[in-house]
Amino acid sequence: MTAQLPRIVPFGDDAVAAAVAVLRVGAIVALPTETVYGLAADATHGAAVASIYGAKGRPSFNPLIVHVADLAAAERIALFDEEARGLAARWWPGPLTLVLPLRGEAGIAGLVTAGLETIAIRVPAHRAMQAVLRAFGGPLAAPSANVSNAISPTRAAHVAASLGARVPLILDDGPTSAGVESTIIGWGAAGAAILRPGPITAEDLGLPLAAGEARINAPGQLATHYAPHKPLRLHAITREAGEWLIGFGAVTGDDTLSASGDLLEAAARLFDALHRADAAPAERIAVAPVPATGIGAAINDRLRRAAHR
């Protein structure tokens, strides 16, 4: 078997058009931002977002950052208050990500936010990412373009070395400038806090900042993971009394992750299915077995965490 290589195209009109064509069919593209190279997918397309996880081989689902062209586009997706708008006006485009309440009507795929009601969003300052966002005309989910647990790529060659044929197209615009991931700001009961340090520092922001991770992860503060409110039973083949069964493949239930047993489809549908189960009249949730191969590992990781709470 000959090793397949990704197509690496230098920044320009043709490269932007090629990237948009790939994104439109629900596939993924590696693109430079001012922080690191990102692995981008249409944020409204669940299966496209699932293929980001497939390519990265991430063993778990974390909410992803959504990139948009400008503040107006961001305000169509997230709810901004005066403080958030002020930060955006001062620092966008730039390496600052804001975690804000998600507008349900924005059509963002459940896998992007990992089922949360908040969304991490930013306007990147890089000309290539900006050009693709404008030509594509919609939000792009984009974590770093490397396999899970590898260092973040700051050059097209790093992406090719890490992901190989798992990414069909890399838009090359030289080395990225910041080299570290964006600063992330979120709001808890105590006000704004840095969730992840980055190129824009606490001093730069000149904000009263809550005391970091511990405070944010405390109950009632910003949740970083969605879990259903009901008890959840794993590896269910049949429905027991009082259960809402989420099927997979041959196991049919009240709902299914994928009737055809497709793991990418199952990943794309996972959080929506959990939300529907939570909203159903049944008191408990059961989920059919899902193979732990490929992206199935991340699905099982999420289901296990949802079952043990």
C-beta of 104: minimal distance to ligand AMP in Å?
Answer: 14
C-beta of 184: minimal distance to ligand AMP in Å?
Answer: 5
Out of 224, 275, 282, 289, the residue judged to bind ligand AMP by CB under 6 A: 224
Peptide bond before 63: cis, by omega within 30 degrees of 0? no
The answer to whether residue 253 forms part of the interface with ligand AMP (CB under 6 A) is: no
* Residue 121, contacted partner among Mg ion, ligand AMP, none, CB below 5-8 A by kind: none
Out of 64, 128, 133, 140, the residue judged to bind ligand AMP by CB under 6 A: 64
The answer to whether residue 144 forms part of the interface with ligand AMP (CB under 6 A) is: yes
Structure tokens at 291: 């193979």
C-beta of 224: minimal distance to ligand AMP in Å?
Answer: 5
C-beta of 118: minimal distance to ligand AMP in Å?
Answer: 4
Beta strands in the chain (DSSP E): 7-10, 29-32, 37-42, 65-67, 96-101, 118-122, 140-141, 169-172, 183-188, 191-196, 232-233, 243-247, 255-256, 284-287
Please identify, among the stretches 63-71, 205-213, 228-236, 282-290, the one whose residues bind ligand AMP according to the rule CB under 6 A: 63-71
Specify the residue, 30 or 288, whose C-beta has the smaller distance to ligand AMP: 30
The answer to whether residue 252 forms part of the interface with ligand AMP (CB under 6 A) is: no
Out of 22, 23, 27, 65, the residue judged to bind ligand AMP by CB under 6 A: 65
Contact status, residue 260 vs residue 268, Cβ threshold 8 Å = no
Contact status, residue 110 vs residue 273, Cβ threshold 8 Å = no
C-beta of 143: minimal distance to ligand AMP in Å?
Answer: 3
Question: What is the DSSP annotation of 121-153?
Answer: EE----HHHHHHHHHH-S-EE--BSS-TTSPPP
Contact status, residue 156 vs residue 37, Cβ threshold 8 Å = yes
DSSP state of 64: P
3-state class percentages of the chain: helix first, strand second, coil last, to nearest 5? 30, 20, 45
The answer to whether residue 62 forms part of the interface with ligand AMP (CB under 6 A) is: yes
The answer to whether residue 143 forms part of the interface with ligand AMP (CB under 6 A) is: yes
Structure tokens at 150: 């590898």
Out of 87, 120, 185, 277, the residue judged to bind ligand AMP by CB under 6 A: 120
Closest CA to 74 of 61, 64, 84: 84
Specify the residue, 177 or 224, whose C-beta has the smaller distance to ligand AMP: 224
DSSP state of 244: E
The answer to whether residue 154 forms part of the interface with ligand AMP (CB under 6 A) is: no
Contact status, residue 51 vs residue 125, Cβ threshold 8 Å = no
Out of 116, 129, 167, 290, the residue judged to bind ligand AMP by CB under 6 A: 116
Applying CB under 6 A, the residues found at the interface with ligand AMP are: 62-65, 99, 113, 116, 118-120, 143-144, 181, 184, 186, 195-196, 222, 224
